[in-house]
Amino acid sequence: MFVFQWVWFIVLLPLPLLLQRFWRYSPENTTQYPYIKLITLKRAQQAFNQSNKLSTSTNQRLRMRLLWLCWLGLVLALMQPQLIEKHVTIQQTGYDLLLAVDLSGSMDNADFFLPTGERINRLQAVKTVLKPFIEKRTGDRIGLILFANQAYLQAPLTLDNLAVADMLARAEIGMAGRDTAIGDAIGLAVKKLRERPAESRVLILLTDGDNNAGILEPQQAATLAKQYDIRVYTVGVGSQENATNSGFNAKSLQEIASSTQGKYYPASDLQALSKVYTDIDTTLHKTTAESRLYLQRTLLYQYPLGLAMLALFGLQGLRLRTE
C-alpha cells in the first residue's frame, strides 16, 4: 500500500503561483533613466534574429517546466512517500518468564563442584546451569531480575534470550548489596508480569538465604503474585551443611511456591540444580501469547528528491547553453 506520511504538505504545491500573483514586480518603484531608442538596431534584430527569438521563447518555457518539476519533487519528498507492506500477524507460543537471581554476599560460598572437581561458588553454579536453560527458551519472553539489598530489573521481558544470558554472565556478587530482599524481588516481578497473558506468567526465584532486607515481606509479595495468577518456582541454592550458616529458610520458600501453585526445589549440588531446571522445563506448559502486528515501511522520498536534483541539473545545463 502506497501512502504519504505527511500528506498535508501538498498545500505547498501552489505556493509559487500565489507568490507570482500577489507579489508581482512593480516598475513604479524603480528609477527611470533616459535612454536612446535605436530603431535601426531593433529592425536589424527583427530582420536577422527571428530564430533567436523563437529559441529564447522555447528556452523560457523549458526553464519554467524544469522549475515546476524541481518544486514538485521537493514537495513530494517532504510528504515522505512510503510503501507499507501487508500486515503480518504472529502468534508466539510460549510464556513470560522472569528469573530472579540472588546476588547477596552468601552467594559467594564455594560449596559446588564442577565435574572436573573444581570448586565454584553458588552464583557461578547458577550461571553454569541457567545459561543452557535460557538458551533453550525459544519463543518465550525472558526477563532478568537481580536482587540483594534491593531488586533491579536487569533485562525486561524479551525474545532475545542470548542477550539475557549475556547479562546474567556479567552479574557479580555485591553489585546490588550484601543482604537479601526476597519480597522486593517478587514484588518487582509482579509489577512486570501483571500486564501479560494470565496463563503464561512465571517467576523462577533463586536464593540461598532468608529475607533480611527490602520493604515488602515475602508472604505479602506471594499474595500479590497469587492475585495476578503468577506461578512462583523457588530454588534453594546451597549445600545442606551450610544452610544454617547462611540463614537459609526453606520453609519460607516452600510457602511462597505452594501459595502460587508453583513448586519448591532444593539444590544442594550442581547435579541437583540441573535437575531442577529440567523439571521446570517439562512441568511448564506453553500458552499462546497475544498476537503481534508488524508494519514493514519502505521510504521512497529519495525518488522525488532525485527528480528535483535532475531538474536542477537541467536548469544549469540550460543556462550554460544560452550564455
* Residue-wise pLDDT tens digits, 3-19: 888 888 888 888 888 87
C-alpha span between 203 and 224 (Å, rounded):
13
Structural domains counted in the chain: 2
- The reply to whether 136 and 228 lie within a common domain is yes
- pLDDT at 245 (0 to 100): 47
Measured in whole angstroms, the distance separating CA 134 from the mean position of its chain's CA atoms is 20
- The reply to whether 282 and 312 lie within a common domain is no
C-alpha span between 59 and 253 (Å, rounded):
88
Measured in whole angstroms, the distance separating CA 307 from the mean position of its chain's CA atoms is 34
Across all residues in the chain, what is the average pLDDT? Answer: 80
- The reply to whether 234 and 284 lie within a common domain is yes
- The reply to whether 181 and 238 lie within a common domain is yes
Beta strands in the chain (DSSP E): 2-4, 81-84, 88-94, 96-102, 112-113, 119-120, 141-147, 151-158, 201-207, 231-237, 264-267, 287-294, 297-299
The reply to whether 28 falls in a domain is no
Q: Do 225 and 203 form a contact (C-beta atoms < 8 A)?
A: yes
The reply to whether 230 falls in a domain is yes
Q: How are beta strands 112-113 and 119-120 bridged, if at all?
A: antiparallel
Q: Which residues of 176-189 are buried (b: 16+ CB within 10 A; e: fewer)?
A: bbbbbbbbbbbbbb
- The reply to whether 13 and 156 lie within a common domain is no
Q: Which residues of 192-227 are buried (b: 16+ CB within 10 A; e: fewer)?
A: bbeebeeebbbbbbbbbbbbebbebbbeebbebbbe
- The reply to whether 152 and 269 lie within a common domain is yes
C-alpha span between 302 and 266 (Å, rounded):
62
How large a percentage of the chain has pLDDT more than 90? 23
Query: 184 falls in which pLDDT band (50, 70, 90)?
Result: very high
CB neighbour list of residue 107: distance below 8 Å, 6 or more residues apart: 121, 122, 123, 126, 173, 208, 237
C-alpha span between 10 and 220 (Å, rounded):
60
The reply to whether 318 falls in a domain is yes
The reply to whether 228 falls in a domain is yes
Whose CA is closest to 141, among 72, 203, 83, 74?
203
- The reply to whether 189 and 287 lie within a common domain is yes
Query: The whole model's pTM is what?
Result: 0.60
**Distances in Å between the alpha carbon of 178 and those of 53, 102, 151, 161, 188?**
92, 10, 12, 28, 19
C-alpha span between 280 and 101 (Å, rounded):
16
Reported as a single tens digit per residue, the pLDDT across 85-121 is 766 565 666 778 899 999 998 888 888 888 888 898 9
- The reply to whether 57 and 68 lie within a common domain is yes
- The reply to whether 286 and 307 lie within a common domain is no
The reply to whether 148 falls in a domain is yes
- The reply to whether 181 and 110 lie within a common domain is yes
Q: How many CA atoms lie within 13 A of 44 on its CB side?
A: 4
**Cell numbers describing residue 108:** 559467594
**Across residues 197-208, what is the average pLDDT?**
83
Reported as a single tens digit per residue, the pLDDT across 272-311 is 777 777 777 776 655 555 555 567 788 888 999 999 999 8
The reply to whether 198 falls in a domain is yes
Query: 175 falls in which pLDDT band (50, 70, 90)?
Result: confident
Whether the per-residue pLDDT at 54 is higher than 50: the answer is: no
How large a percentage of the chain has pLDDT more than 70? 79
Measured in whole angstroms, the distance separating CA 211 from the mean position of its chain's CA atoms is 35
The more confidently predicted of residues 65 and 274 is 65
Amino acid (one-letter) located at 183: G
The reply to whether 30 falls in a domain is no
- The reply to whether 189 and 74 lie within a common domain is no
For residue 153, give its domain range. 91-293
Lowest mean pLDDT, pick from 8-12, 190-194, 198-202, 247-251: 247-251
- pLDDT at 164 (0 to 100): 92
Q: Exposed/middle/buried for 241, CB within 10 Å: 0-12, 13-18, 19+?
A: exposed
Neighbours of 246 (CB within 10 A): 23
Which 8-state DSSP code applies to residue 136? T
The DSSP annotation for 159-184 comes to S-HHHHHHHHHT--TTBTBSS--HHH
The reply to whether 66 falls in a domain is yes
**The CATH number of the domain where 190 resides is what?**
3.40.50.410
Whether the per-residue pLDDT at 243 is higher than 70: the answer is: no
- The reply to whether 157 and 188 lie within a common domain is yes
C-alpha span between 297 and 2 (Å, rounded):
10
